[in-house]
Structure 1
Amino acid sequence: MGSHGEQFKIIIVGGGIAGLATAIALRAPDRHITVLERSRMLHEVGALISLQPNASKIVTKLGLDPFLARATPLVDRGFRIFDKEGNVVREVPFDTAQFGADRVLYHRQDLHAALRDAAVSDSGVLPGAPVEIRTAAGVVDCKPEVGIVVLADGTQLQADLVVGADGIKSVVRNSVLGDQAAQFSPIPTGLSAYRVLLPLSSIKNVPGLPPSVTVTDPAITSMIMGGDRRVIMGPGRGGELYGFVALVPDTKAADEDKKGEDTTWVRPGSKAELKAAYAGFAPWLLDLFEAASDDDIGLWQLRDLDPLPRWTRGRVILIGDAAHAMLPTQGQGASQSIEDAEALAAFLDGVSSKPTTQVVEDVLQKVWDARFTRVSLIQAYSRQQAKPATEAGSNKVTLDPGQFLKYNCDYDGAVDWLRRQEKQ
């Protein structure tokens, strides 16, 4: 499987959730794993994030439960869907027995910190040596055939395997796609998302707020929708916080594209604009918005990727948002990154010493075979769920989050998935 006795060197570009999860999954004897992160990792964006049952099973198998327990997880028992007027129209329970794991809510900062602690842990709970994390190490170029990455200061680092986990604005993706890179730039989706995180105590007395919206035991994700607008909301950080994401049509994407401008995709939000966008919705929703200050509100332009023609070249593979950025409408973004990490680890199982280029290419091909069709379908359905959720001219909610729940969550790893597909 390789040159006996020499260490298997792995570089992971990007120290977000995808990169850290992959570093943890790949830990094994005789492997040296380095994570290169362009920021100083001082803080992650404040927002709530979920790991769906398909990912919860994987983190348990990786031995991460003791680390994630410190991240004040909150188990979510289902969706409750409201129409524009605030009436409950559908319940979608999460059946732990059906999927073999829970849907768990985290504060993004807490989840990120727990994964970082696990990656560098030398407690003996996880196999192999602790991961080396290098911050302020921005990668500006990559040479896939020889496994070289180039840092902003000109330093060149070489590894047997390079994992591009550097997000939707991935530099590594450009080197994997080569001449095709320009055709697969991030796409404005026509949507923006207001993201707000508040102390739960600050919304307890909002008049008319349905009791189920604020309950934390069991926690429930609430969705209110009408036309092309929807709000997804729920508690986090063990019940201390309450977060909501409000989707609205993006009024600036078309103008920016006409000018050929690149944007930061993030700008301060305005409570007045947010309330105006949801005029005519249930009064309790507008009162919930009123509990936030302008400083609490951020506005993200939502972009995703079309399915790429390839994720691999030479000794390099793309994972997470670098490979398959998707809309947040199914809450599967982080979970699909966890699936990528598991797939890479599964097909590298048994490769301990320095692998040949052929061995690496064969493994990466298997990861692509196991992941591409599945994740592309989840991407497509995330787009579909972003379309208007009510019938034209009525307030009847047509969106059914339960429709793809079984496909998304009934997953037991890449090897099992490939086996199941071969039987069909």
Structure 2
Amino acid sequence: MTLNPIVIIGAGIGGLAAALGLQRRGFKVRVFERAVEIREIGAGLIVTANARRALKDLGLDDGLAALSSRVPVLHGCDYRTGEITRGVRNEDIEKRYGFSTLQVHRADLHGLLMAAVDRNDPAALHAGHEFASLDQTERGVNVKFVNGASIAGDALIGADGNASAVRSFVFGGEAAAFNGQVAFRALIPKERVPKAVAELQFAMHTAPRRYLLHYPLRHGEIMNLIGCGQSKAWEAEGWSIPATNDEFEQEYSDFWPELLDLIRAIPPGGLFKWGLRDREPLQRWVKGRVAMLGDAAHPMTPFLGQGACMAIEDGMLLARAFGAARDVPAALARYEAARKTRGNNVQLWSREEGLALQDPARPRKGAIELGLLDYDPVLVAV
């Protein structure tokens, strides 16, 4: 189908999943990342059955499982006492969906994807290339970068996150804006974790306007801690802004004392905060030979634990669409038809779950209740 490469802007999880899926179907890809080094910073994420089906098809699921944690029970707890109020057995999840839920260090997943893409083609990955502009015709696209470089491609995939420069350039509209939530995150070595928290392993502690979530990574060597709460204002940019343990503790001072001990145990310099940003769902994902993917198409708040999973699904369906179509326009049309409704719906459902997590009067619908884990990106029609 193609003579020139498929150009991907953004070397995050979604962009790399798309690149690997395309490579495995015989397509040449070039992935450009604006950072001077292609890597992921330390943070945790959840990988559920829907995404693991794609990762298995990409040849990475076993490797990821070997690096990750798999807790026996996903707990919900009272935020004041730590008392367990609900629990979902991972064994039951595996029996129902064929895959358990993994607790994953983001850098481990990213590293597996990047290494696989690089093994297939050492010329595929390019750091230090910030997107500037593009021109497109009926035959292809020409992409220009801030550093003066350019490349001709048969298609361009914008996978550059919720503040996507590609989306703004191609589709215009409002930029990503603060959505009223401020999050804290930290990784805590297991030897510093209070015993009661370590025994719970995975627990969501919901409270009015806030919640704390913790779960182990790398077979329990690290505890991932996330706190998210409503806030009226936020001005700083970025999601790695240094924060203090005292600041974090003050925001959650009425929580279970063991959780406050966990906050106090965060190593010096190991706590970060960021203001969550959002955009309205993108009504068109494709324009000419340009398509959006992952958070660039559907900025995903963290409340369903599906951000990385949706990006992986997008990457798989994009690759399958190119493998099934006769030309680029047909491939992108297939991709948009297969993904837009699900991606946009999950974006909106995640917002709703965020409100429900922080308001006991609202009914909750998590990823299991919404049926998200039933989806198979390897077999769904495209």
TM-score for the superposition, normalised by structure 1: 0.82
CA distance, structure 2, for counterparts of residue 101 and residue 298 of structure 1: 32
CA distance, structure 2, for counterparts of residue 29 and residue 372 of structure 1: 22
CA distance, structure 2, for counterparts of residue 32 and residue 50 of structure 1: 30
| Cα distance change on mapping 1:88 and 1:29 into 2, 3 Å | closer
Q: Is the 8 A contact 1:50 1:103 kept in 2?
A: yes
User: Match for residue 246 of structure 2?
Assistant: 272
CA distance, structure 2, for counterparts of residue 47 and residue 29 of structure 1: 31
* Aligned residue among 324, 347, 350 for 2:298: 324
* Aligned residue among 141, 151, 171 for 2:145: 151
| Cα distance change on mapping 1:274 and 1:84 into 2, 3 Å | same
User: Match for residue 342 of structure 1?
Assistant: 316
Q: Deviations over 1:332-385 (max 9, x none)?
A: 00000000011111111155xxx7xxx212221221111111111111111112
Is 1:389 the counterpart of 2:357 in the alignment? yes
* Aligned residue among 215, 219, 227 for 1:234: 215
Task: Single out whichever of 12-21 and 291-300 deviates more from structure 2.
Answer: 291-300
User: Match for residue 218 of structure 1?
Assistant: none
- Mapping of residues 2-401 of structure 1, within 5 Å: 2=1, 7=3, 9-28=5-24, 31-41=27-37, 43-65=39-61, 67-68=63-64, 72-85=67-80, 86-94=82-90, 95-122=93-120, 129=121, 132-145=124-137, 146-177=140-171, 181-183=172-174, 185-205=175-195, 209-210=196-197, 212-214=199-201, 221-253=202-234, 256=235, 263-264=237-238, 266-350=240-324, 359-387=327-355, 389=357, 400=364
Q: Is the 8 A contact 2:57 2:378 kept in 1?
A: no
Q: Is the 8 A contact 1:38 1:139 kept in 2?
A: yes
Structure 1 residue 31, shift from structure 2 partner: 2.6
| Cα distance change on mapping 1:187 and 1:82 into 2, 3 Å | same
Structure 1 residue 272, shift from structure 2 partner: 1.2
CA distance, structure 2, for counterparts of residue 211 and residue 295 of structure 1: 22
Structure 1 residue 198, shift from structure 2 partner: 0.8
CA distance, structure 1, for counterparts of residue 328 and residue 378 of structure 2: 17
CA distance, structure 2, for counterparts of residue 152 and residue 176 of structure 1: 17
CA distance, structure 1, for counterparts of residue 362 and residue 74 of structure 2: 15
CA distance, structure 2, for counterparts of residue 102 and residue 304 of structure 1: 29
C-alpha RMSD of the superposition? 2.3
Structure 1 residue 130, shift from structure 2 partner: 5.5
Matched residue type, 1:97: K
Structure 1 residue 187, shift from structure 2 partner: 2.5
CA distance, structure 2, for counterparts of residue 41 and residue 140 of structure 1: 18
CA distance, structure 1, for counterparts of residue 33 and residue 177 of structure 2: 24
Identity %: 29
CA distance, structure 2, for counterparts of residue 390 and residue 327 of structure 1: 14
Q: Which secondary structure does the structure 2 equivalent of 1:416 belong to? A: coil
CA distance, structure 2, for counterparts of residue 348 and residue 23 of structure 1: 12
Structure 1 residue 51, shift from structure 2 partner: 1.3
CA distance, structure 1, for counterparts of residue 237 and residue 11 of structure 2: 23
CA distance, structure 1, for counterparts of residue 356 and residue 295 of structure 2: 24
CA distance, structure 2, for counterparts of residue 44 and residue 295 of structure 1: 18
Structure 1 residue 182, shift from structure 2 partner: 3.0
Q: Is the 8 A contact 1:343 1:415 kept in 2?
A: no
Q: Is the 8 A contact 1:235 1:241 kept in 2?
A: yes
Structure 1 residue 389, shift from structure 2 partner: 3.3
Which ranges of structure 1 fall in alignment gaps of 5 or more residues?
123-128, 215-220, 257-261, 419-424
TM-score for the superposition, normalised by structure 2: 0.91
CA distance, structure 2, for counterparts of residue 163 and residue 191 of structure 1: 29
Q: Which secondary structure does the structure 1 equivalent of 2:219 belong to? A: helix
Q: Size of the alignment, in residue pairs?
A: 377
| Cα distance change on mapping 1:78 and 1:314 into 2, 3 Å | farther
CA distance, structure 1, for counterparts of residue 110 and residue 151 of structure 2: 25
CA distance, structure 2, for counterparts of residue 18 and residue 311 of structure 1: 15
Matched residue type, 2:113: L
Structure 1 residue 22, shift from structure 2 partner: 0.8
Question: Which structure: larger Rg?
Answer: 1
